[in-house]
Amino acid sequence: MIFLVTAGPTREPIDPVRYISNRSSGKMGYAIAEAALKAGHDVVLISGPVKLHSSRGAKLVSVSTSDEMFDAVHQHAGDCDVCVLCAAVADYKPATVSPLKIKKRGDEISLELVPTRDILASLGSRRDRRFLLVGFAAETHDLQENAVKKLRAKNCDIMVANDARVGMESDENELLVLFRGGEIKKFHRTPKQILARELIKIFSKFATKVFDKKNVMISERN
């Protein structure tokens, strides 16, 4: 199979030296990409700015902003069997970007923010979608409830949820894996490399079932 994996944060520029970002290390996404490679799959890794080295064999696409990640994902998604959107993409970006460094002044300053394009929702709504869609939900409260809402709202096949206070910048994570049919699988706090191997097994098995079902439907129509 061909896996598309997104990882890391995005940086939304304010001026030439400042930006809005988040604490994502990219470790979970990179671990998933490595696990997919070790399982014999091809991998396209679309990464925001991180201090990590990608595994040999992955096709690395480096991006910085949410718009760059949006374009890169849509460029490669159509050729993939499984899309795993693990990146922590900024929800908002500055409405305007100053071409010059904003000088510090004594008075207050306001920054107008506008929503970024929703990559996960855009993939879930694609009419030509032929891939398994996996989303990630990092929450600080009501983990399962918010993850279920996101699973349905974004039209995903699987949603992987974690408490951001546990997994952010850490080598470990604990996860809830929610399926469209209502099944939930829980992983207690474990190194991300081990979690990634288990996730790849789940994604591969689920994708195989989906593809087999689609092939049967096509055969019946013919």
Q: What is the dihedral of CA 163, 169, 175, 180, to 10 degrees?
A: 80
Match 């920054």 to its residue by tokens. Answer: 111
Give the β-pairing of 113-115 and 92-94.
antiparallel
Neighbours of 92 (CB within 10 A): 14
- Catalytic residue, from 22, 162, 215, 222: name it: 22
Find out whether 177 and 158 touch, Cβ atoms under 8 Å.
yes
Q: What are phi and psi of 116, to 5 degrees?
A: -85, 165
Please tell me the number of Cα atoms within 13 Å of 187 on its side-chain side: 25
Q: Is 22 in the active site?
A: yes
- Rounded to whole angstroms, the Cα distance separating 47 from 54 reads 9
Both ends of the chain: CA-CA distance in Å?
A: 25
Identify whether the C-beta of residue 82 lies closer than 8 Å to the C-beta of residue 2: yes
Write out the catalytic residue numbers. Answer: 22
